[in-house]
Every structure is written in C-alpha cells, then in structure tokens.
Amino acid sequence: VKEKGKGHFRFYRSDMKDAFPNYILMEAHLRKAIEMNEFVMHYQPQVNLKTGKIKTFEALLRWQNRKFGNVPPSQFIPLAEETGLIIPIGEWVIHSVCSQLADWRNKGYKDIRVAINISPKQFLQTNLPEIIQKALFMNQLPASALEIEITEGAMEDTIAALSMLHRLKKIGIIISVDDFGTGYSSLNYLKRFPIDILKIDQSFVREIQVNEKDAAITKTIIHLAHNLGMEVIAEGVEEEDQVQFLVSAQCQKAQGYYFSRPVSAKEIEQKVLYI
Ligand code: C2E
Ligand code: CA
Ligand code: CA
Ligand code: CA
C-alpha cells in the first residue's frame, strides 16, 4: 500500500504486473495519453432480437500505450477515477464518439445511436450536460444519437443524481442503467428516476442455461423493465442457447461476443453498416 497524500491510499494489485510495474508509473503515462494520441474508441453492436437489426452500439475505450502496449479498462479506469483524470478522459470520449457519429451520418447512416459509459465521478461533474451539448452542437447531432450508461453506484447520491438525470433528459439524451442488479439494491430509484433502458449484467446471463436462479433473475428483470415501460438489453451473451433463452423470454436486445466483440469504427463500417 502506498500513500498518495490527503488520506488516500492506493493498492498495488498483482494482476497489474503485466502492463505496468506500478500505479505511479501508470498514472504518469495516463496523464499524457490524450496528447500522445494513445486512446481509441471501439464499438460493440447491440442486436435487436426481434428484427436482427443493429442500430445501437456501446462505445468502449481502448488505451494503447507506446511502451506498455494495450492496457485494459479494468486497470486504467479505476485509476482514472481515483486521480480525477476520468474528467478529461471522459470528455475526450464524448468528443470522439460524437465526431464518429457525425462521420457515420455523413456517410448516410443516420439512425445510429451510441452508448457512452459515464463513470460515477464524471456523472457528478456539474457541467456534464454542457459538455455533452457542446459536443452535439459541434458535430451537428441530435441528442437522440447519444445514450449514456451509468451504474447504480452513480445514483447513490439521490438528490444530485436526480437533478443530473433531469438535466440530461431535458436535452434528449437516452439513459441506461449499466450492470443492473449488481449494485445499489433499492428499486426505489426506478420509480423516481427518468430511466429508459436496463442492461442485465453479464453475471446473470453467463449461466442462464444451467443456473435456475440466474434464469429467474433474468426473466424478472425483463418483466420489470417491460412493466415500467423501459427497454432491456442482455450483456455478455456468448452462446447460442443464451440467445434462445433471451428470445423466448422476450428480451429486446442483446450484446456480447456471440454477435461481435468490441471492434474499431472501421470494422463496424465494413462488417455491420454496409448492409
Ligand atoms: P462495462 O461497461 O460493463 O462493459 C462491458 C465489458 O464487457 C467490456 O469490457 C466488454 O468488452 C466486455 N464484453 C462484451 N461482451 C462480452 C462477452 O460476451 N463476454 C465477456 N466476458 N465480456 C464481454 P471492457 O471493454 O474491458 O470494459 C470494462 C469496463 O471498463 C466497462 O464495463 C466499463 O465499466 C469501463 N469502461 C470502458 N470504456 C469506458 C469509457 O469510455 N468510460 C468509462 N467511464 N468507463 C469505461
Ligand atoms: Ca457499459
Ligand atoms: Ca455492463
Ligand atoms: Ca461492468
């Protein structure tokens, strides 16, 4: 454990050895990653299970460091959150996705929507709606082209979260709850917050076929979403029989390696959008 000052501690995890020898070094590189052009967005298709169509994608950040290679988000996102670097990085993500959407619209793909992950710290940033609005304006995009994914943890500060969600809804942004069912357990916020979509966490989907409890939870989340007038997406779908289960349980959309891994914008154009 190393002291960072002001009562913050950071823990060295053994799985970090591969990429960076320590957090201090990783932070130094993360600080320069934007100006060094080391970030790129990948996109993962979300498939409509009724029509088979793909109109929405989740944007996932990739960091290719010159010295240490590919660093997975599971390593650098928590560090970015802890150090506050998530604010400039998150802003970079918003601008990058909007400029990609503008590019796709110019090529004729007009009804595409992209979901951006917003970390809890970023969600509490008071000028987030203005940052998003500016990016939409600069790229001449309608707000309906953008969706944000927040976790239940981001909604723990109920009053701040409620006011942020209302400001984002007012612009016209679609709101989804990521990793639904794994965090803050009160269902109270579902009735008070303007939420459009629930994303069923991959931990429930993984054993849907063998674990009766996972199957029951998944079906219940699908019913819950429908009864509340929300859309529902299953994450982490890897197998054909998971797809069959989700279709028969009337789940609207699915996302996962079965359909496609997250890939570059170019691959999305070549393999998905050309159709
Ligand atoms: P998440 O938002 O829950 O994203 C889903 C993760 O599951 C992604 O990992 C994705 O590549 C992976 N995944 C997709 N399909 C499958 C599948 O079928 N099986 C399995 N096993 N995994 C699948 P990734 O890209 O490594 O991202 C990890 C986490 O890092 C994300 O979890 C999200 O919390 C965070 N993250 C990624 N990009 C961003 C970003 O731009 N901003 C913020 N704030 N967080 C991000
Ligand atoms: Ca997500
Ligand atoms: Ca997720
Ligand atoms: Ca997750």
For 56-79, give the DSSP string.
Answer: EEEEEEEEEETTTEEE-HHHHHHH
The preferred substitution site among 44, 46, 58, 60 for testing ligand 1, maximizing ligand atoms within 8 Å of CB, is 60
For the CA of 255, the closest atom of ligand 1 is 15
Q: Which residues line ligand 1 (CB under 6 A)?
A: 44, 60-61, 72-74, 77, 90, 93, 117-119, 178-179, 202, 236-238, 256-257, 262
For the CA of 116, the closest atom of ligand 1 is 41
Give the pLDDT of residue 184.
61
Instruction: Name the residue at shortest CA distance from atom 6 of ligand 1.
Output: 236
Residue pair 199/149 in contact by the 8 Å Cβ criterion: yes
For the CA of 238, the closest atom of ligand 1 is 18
The amino acid that residue 265 corresponds to is: A
The amino acid that residue 55 corresponds to is: K
Instruction: Name the residue at shortest CA distance from atom 15 of ligand 1.
Output: 256
The preferred substitution site among 95, 100, 117 for testing ligand 1, maximizing ligand atoms within 8 Å of CB, is 117
DSSP run (H or E) holding 32: helix 23-32
Taking the CA atoms of residue 260, residue 45, residue 125 and residue 63 in that order, the dihedral angle to the nearest 10 degrees is 40
Report the alpha-carbon distance of residue 249 to residue 255 in Å, rounded.
Answer: 15
The preferred substitution site among 70, 75, 77 for testing ligand 1, maximizing ligand atoms within 8 Å of CB, is 77
Report the alpha-carbon distance of residue 254 to residue 242 in Å, rounded.
Answer: 10
ipTM value greater than 0.95: yes
Q: Which residues surround ligand 2, an ion (CB under 5 A)?
A: 117, 149, 178
pLDDT digits (tens, 9 = 90+) for 170-224: 999 999 999 998 986 678 889 889 999 999 999 999 999 999 999 999 999 999 9
How close is the Cα of 202 to the center of ligand 4, in Å?
A: 8
Taking alpha carbons only, the member of 74, 98, 79 closest to residue 33 is 79
Give the pLDDT of residue 23.
83
Q: Tell me whether strands 69-71 and 8-10 are parallel, antiparallel or unpaired.
A: unpaired
Give the pLDDT of residue 12.
47
Report the alpha-carbon distance of residue 21 to residue 29 in Å, rounded.
Answer: 12
Give the pLDDT of residue 68.
85
Q: What is the pLDDT along the chain (275 residues), one digit of tens a residue?
A: 344 444 344 444 545 555 677 888 999 999 999 999 999 999 999 999 999 999 999 999 999 998 889 999 999 999 999 999 999 999 999 999 999 999 999 999 999 999 999 999 999 999 999 999 999 999 999 999 999 999 998 888 889 999 999 999 999 999 999 999 898 667 888 988 999 999 999 999 999 999 999 999 999 999 999 999 999 999 999 999 999 999 999 999 999 999 999 999 999 999 989 76
